[in-house]
A and B are shown apart, each in its own frame.
Chain A
Amino acid sequence: AQSVTQLDSQVPVFEEAPVELRCNYSSSVSVYLFWYVQYPNQGLQLLLKYLSGSTLVKGINGFEAEFNKSQTSFHLRKPSVHISDTAEYFCAVSYLQGAQKLVFGQGTRLTINP
């Protein structure tokens, strides 16, 4: 069965510090990878996605992620965070045979401290 594991349930970071949110997936077939952000009392917003090509993907709000097939990982990074980045972040995968059906991780709560 396909699954997504987000290794940290909570990540506290000081403002302007770098951050990495970790995501690993399990699959025996090709996958497409996504990171979504959820602000309080809101739906999900797409940050970035990996479909093919370059393994380094840049998204909105200064976030980027790197696809590592050998380690089955898709970690999210930002070199300098802002208070407004405080939110829940979800890693998700979609499979070639299940177009647009997303399998989500449990989420990582990113808290930015001043």
Chain B
Amino acid sequence: DAGITQSPRHKVTETGTPVTLRCHQTENHRYMYWYRQDPGHGLRLIHYSYGVKDTDKGEVSDGYSVSRSKTEDFLLTLESATSSQTSVYFCATGQGRNEKLFFGSGTQLSVL
């Protein structure tokens, strides 16, 4: 499996605070993704990156921003967390355009 590390593994925060989740990969994969998983919705794409400093929005990007300053790191930021952003967040990476994705172990985020 690809070496993907997500941090933190769990976080509890309050409404209105900024939160940053980190995804670190050791596989030198070009493509990186942030998904959220909620009951009844499956995995939904938040943002993705197709190279250093190259990012774009997914289907549920409102309230989230991302940055990728190095190949191995992809950061997801909630500028002002809301209770609707309570979810499990997964990072994924892929080597090529028509390749399978590898997933990290997820971050459980609770916004109170």
Partners in one complex: no
